Structure formats: C-alpha cells, structure tokens
Amino acid sequence: MLIIVVRTLILYILVVIIMRIMGKRQIGQLQPFELVIAIMISELAAVPMQDKRIPLINGIIPILTLLFAQITFSFIGLKSTRARAIICGRPSILIQNGKINEAELRKEMYSVNDLLEQLRIKNIYNIADVEFALLETNGQLSVIPKSQKRPVSPEDLNIPTKYEGLSLDIIVDGEISHENLKLANLDVNWLNDTLSKFGINNPKDVLLASLDSEGKLYYQLKERRNN
C-alpha cells in the first residue's frame, strides 16, 4: 500500500510540474495537439499508479517524451507561422460581412444551431447584429458585432478617462505582501499608519486589503468568530 502511495505522489508531482511547464492555459484554450498531449500524459500516469508491477520509469520516460514533443512543437510554431498553421490550423470565418459562410460550417462540421448557441453564450441573441464570427483554432468563437450594435465607449462620446492600472493586493488573509508594497513604493509603516486611521491595529484582522492605481486602499476585515 505504501509503495502505491509513493508511486502515486511521484507521478502526481511530475504531471503537475509538466503541466506548469506547458503553460497556464485552460482546457478550452488548448490547441488540438496540446489537448492530445495532456490526455496522453494523464493516461500514461494512470497506468503505473494502478499496476505496481509496471516499473515507474516506464511511465516517466513516455511522459517526459511527450513534454519534449510539446515544447518542440510550440517552439516551431513560434518560429514559423506556416508550421503553426499546419500544427494548429487556421481560424475559420463562419460569419463574414454579416452573412453566414455555409461552406466553412460544413468544413468544420458546425451546425447553425451550434453557431447560434455560441452567439448566445457571447450575449448576442440576434445574428443580424454580427459582422464577423471566427472559429479559433482552440474551438472558441470570436465575435465582432456590427459597428452600430457595439456598446458605446467613452471615446465615442469624447469623454476623457483616467488611467486605471492593476490593483495591488497588500494584505491577503492577514498576511502582508511585502513584494506588492515595494512595487507601490510603500512600506509597512505606511500600511500600519493607514490601517490605524480606520481603527485597525493588527493587519492579521484584515481579510483583504488592496491598493488601486490612485492610491486608494480597499479593505475588508475578517469575520469575528465566537469561541
């Protein structure tokens, strides 16, 4: 039993490391060859876990081979657009200039109902509002509405806007992020002084505190638990 547990942990750690090396894409964002490799890696890892008669190395070597293949294909795709088109394919234009492209639908084995369903997922309920719809190589649908159907932006109304950068998480579950404080050119003394203005004497009482690009601090205290 102990051997199975150890083998499982080794393979689990190996697969997690490999998936991190492959990148942070979600399953729905994987290219076809990446999805195939991910499925094969999971299958190869499962066999040595279930059968301890199979040497562990017999599972590790094929997994590392697939990782090498994935990195190689990705590198080739980065260096050559023609190779990437062969490996990953090209986007298909399902709607062009407001008109459904029936030939592309047949080629991709995509029904009109599938197209309408994906448009609804994109919060578009009238196909007449669509100028272009592209089926990306990872299977997701990108939609470009007609210009008169797009949401109004401040630029359309000539309204000036302020710059909005990413907020920095200063405290998460009572733990101070010294790295983010440094990025904001602040220190712990500033944080303690700011918290004291809100009647907070201990950062550990804070569930979350974040700093926006204008220097405003948002915070929420932890719920008090009765012992």
Q: Which amino acid is at 113?
A: N
Mark out the alpha helices in 2-158 (DSSP H runs): 2-22, 32-50, 57-79, 81-88, 102-107, 112-121
| pTM > 0.75: yes or no | no
Let me know if the fold of 92-149 is the same as that of 168-221.
yes
Cα(93)–Cα(144) distance, integer angstroms: 11
Q: What is the pLDDT of residue 10?
A: 87
The Cα 177–Cα 169 span in angstroms is 7
* CATH of 168-221 given 3.30.240.20, 3.40.50.150, 3.90.1150.10, 1.10.3720.10: 3.30.240.20
Q: Which CATH superfamily is domain 92-149 in?
A: bsu07140 like domains (3.30.240.20)
Beta bridge partners of 220: 208
pLDDT value at residue 29: 61
What are the domain boundaries of the chain? 2-86, 92-149, 168-221
Of 80, 141, 81, residue with least CA distance to 108 = 141
- Give the Cα separation of 37 and 46 in Å (integer): 14
pLDDT confidence of residue 25: 61
For residue 56, what are its two tokens? 């562990």
**Measured distance CA(171)–CA(220) in Å, rounded:** 10
| pLDDT at 27 (0 to 100) | 56
Write the pLDDT tens digit of every residue in 168-195: 999 999 999 999 999 999 999 999 999 9
165 by DSSP, 3-state: which? coil
- What's the CA gap between 114 and 154, in Å, rounded? 34
Q: Which residue ranges of the chain lie beneath pLDDT 50?
A: 227
Beta-sheet pairing, 217-221 with 92-96: unpaired
